[in-house]
Structure 1
Amino acid sequence: MTVKALAPAPSGASAPARIWDVVRLHVANPWNTLVVPWVITFAIFGLNLAIWLMVASAAGGVENLEPDAFAYNGGISWLAVFMMVVAVQAMNLTFKFALGFSVTRRDYYLGSVLYFVLLSLLYATGVTAIAAVERATDGWGLGAAFFAPWGLPGEPIATIWFLYLMVLLLFFFLGAAVATVWVRWGPNGLYAFFIGLAALVVGAGWFVTTTDSWPAVGEFFTSRSLVELAAWTLPLSIACGVVGHLFLRRSTPRS
């Protein structure tokens, strides 16, 4: 992958100008962050639509299917996971280049974080807009739900947008933390990171099990709205962002 030349901010430029230069650096080659996610999303949607049409045809029409036959689809969930990959790729490809222009690690990280926030807003808004079209067309005439599946078809559009925004921010910031681990410690650091993460998840499950707290966990999730549950991801996103910043402070470009 090549990156177009980015003119560094003039000497003495303000911090916002330097940070915006980093955003421009990420945008210089938009393929991985602005093109590929949409292409794959619409490809997955097209395959699902083809399958739905085949099933409806085999059944002799949509009226012969259960009302929610196509409402439980997890295809759009790939986007959130891929955003973590996007964050890792974006930072791995631009970190060395940015430092070559004497961009400080602080400005580079803040610029990258700003870019990830902007991407989250873009994708949350785009997916929600398509979900609104999906709802207006009665699930593309098939009662289907791809862009707002599971329990989302009955939720307000604003709730769907907020949910997508919070989830995308979480995966972007998790990706940023993973990227800084790779930049600083390489593959061995990445192995240790995921082993530690797995141990943390298993340890939490063990603690909940041994303290008979699963009913309380279930009550926590079932007694709260989607907006509240989505908002609970924000502290974790911020924590990932802080960890990424701390890791990047002493990172050196890898050859």
Structure 2
Amino acid sequence: MTRVRDVARIQLVNWPALLAYPLAFVVAMPLLGLGIDVSNGETATGPHEIYLLPALWGMAATGHLQSMTQVFPFTLGLGVTRRKFAAATALVVTAQALLLGLVLVAFGAVERSTGGWGREARLFGLGAWRQDDPVTQWLAYSGPIVAASAICVLAGVVFQRWRQTGLYLAVFGSAAVLAGFGALATTRRWWPAIGGFLGGQPSLTLFTAGPLVFAVLLGGAAWLVLRRATA
């Protein structure tokens, strides 16, 4: 375990991308939301939601892509095993998600106490995430960050194993699969059923359990590729 913590600390050398930039974005979200409201002429038009959280997920996940492409070769040169590096990556991903989730809970509390930043805007207390219990709010905020990070970890591992060609093939292949499914769902008229199913799920299922299962599946795929990745 000590070795895993040491490798995690090596990854945290990239702390600006993993922590500082995402935290700065969270702090800036109320101002960004105000800018969006002003540009849309919605400064005082009643309760409304502004969807900036997905941008935070992407920003938080990018640092793990850098860890796989830059830190992984360095640690291999230090004699770190792939298993230890994978465990350290899981530790860093989890810690980052829980920390950012806690910050989002705090900002959500400020948002409620200020009446939606004085204009009934909801950036953090989105309807889909609403939970009465701060602990469940924390978990619901953290889940999507873990899932987004798993995507970037897998992308970094694919790049490390097969370089640009493998990454391009993975991106184009994933896009083709999603486009094919979208076309099939449209043709078969599945979207209302899909929307009804997802809308009937509790937020902890959608934003904690679901993302964690997704992250475990991607993590398993990343491990299979990482075992053969070289520096």
TM-score when normalising by structure 2: 0.89
- CA–CA distance in 2 between the matches of 1:245 and 1:191? 20
Kindly indicate whether residue 114 of structure 2 is the aligned counterpart of residue 129 of structure 1: no
Alignment of 1:32-51 (within 5 A): 32-49=17-34
Kindly indicate whether residue 76 of structure 2 is the aligned counterpart of residue 76 of structure 1: no
Kindly state the Cα deviation for residue 148 of structure 1 after the two structures are TM-superposed: 2.5
Kindly state the Cα deviation for residue 210 of structure 1 after the two structures are TM-superposed: 4.2
Alignment partner of 1:236 out of 214, 220, 223: 214
- CA–CA distance in 2 between the matches of 1:151 and 1:129? 17
**Are residues 139 and 94 of structure 1, via their aligned partners in 2, closer, same or farther at CA, if it must alter by over 3 Å?**
same
- CA–CA distance in 2 between the matches of 1:109 and 1:144? 40
Q: Is the 8 A contact 1:45 1:75 kept in 2?
A: no
Structure 1, gaps ≥5 residues long: 1-15
Q: Give the corresponding residue for 2:120.
A: 143
- CA–CA distance in 2 between the matches of 1:202 and 1:84? 24
Q: Give the corresponding residue for 2:131.
A: 155
- Larger radius of gyration between Structure 1 and Structure 2: 1
Partner deviation per Cα, 1:192-246 (whole Å, 9 max, x = no partner): 1111111221222233344443332122112222222222222211110001111
Alignment partner of 2:225 out of 223, 227, 247: 247
Kindly indicate whether residue 9 of structure 2 is the aligned counterpart of residue 24 of structure 1: yes
Q: Give the corresponding residue for 1:66.
A: 45
TM-score when normalising by structure 1: 0.81
User: 3-state SS of the aligned residue for 1:224?
Assistant: coil
Partner deviation per Cα, 1:59-114 (whole Å, 9 max, x = no partner): 9xx7xx3321xx32012320112223121012222111101110011111111111
Q: Is the 8 A contact 2:29 2:123 kept in 1?
A: no
Q: Give the corresponding residue for 2:153.
A: 176
Find runs of 4+ consecutive structure 1 residues off by over 6 angstroms: none
User: 3-state SS of the aligned residue for 1:103?
Assistant: coil
- CA–CA distance in 1 between the matches of 2:215 and 2:36? 36
Mean Cα displacement is larger for which, 17-26 or 82-91? 82-91
Q: Is the 8 A contact 1:83 1:175 kept in 2?
A: no
Q: Is the 8 A contact 2:17 2:62 kept in 1?
A: no
Kindly state the Cα deviation for residue 183 of structure 1 after the two structures are TM-superposed: 0.9
Kindly state the Cα deviation for residue 47 of structure 1 after the two structures are TM-superposed: 3.3
Kindly state the Cα deviation for residue 164 of structure 1 after the two structures are TM-superposed: 1.4
Mean Cα displacement is larger for which, 219-228 or 120-129? 219-228
- CA–CA distance in 1 between the matches of 2:214 and 2:36? 37
Q: Is the 8 A contact 1:148 1:160 kept in 2?
A: no
- CA–CA distance in 2 between the matches of 1:200 and 1:151? 27
**Are residues 201 and 51 of structure 1, via their aligned partners in 2, closer, same or farther at CA, if it must alter by over 3 Å?**
closer
- CA–CA distance in 2 between the matches of 1:206 and 1:106? 40
Kindly state the Cα deviation for residue 129 of structure 1 after the two structures are TM-superposed: 1.3
Kindly state the Cα deviation for residue 51 of structure 1 after the two structures are TM-superposed: 5.8
Alignment partner of 2:69 out of 92, 102, 109: 92
Alignment partner of 1:215 out of 192, 196, 212: 192
The letter of the residue matching 2:81 is T
Cα RMSD, aligned residues only? 2.2
Structure 2, gaps ≥5 residues long: none
| Percent identity over paired residues | 29
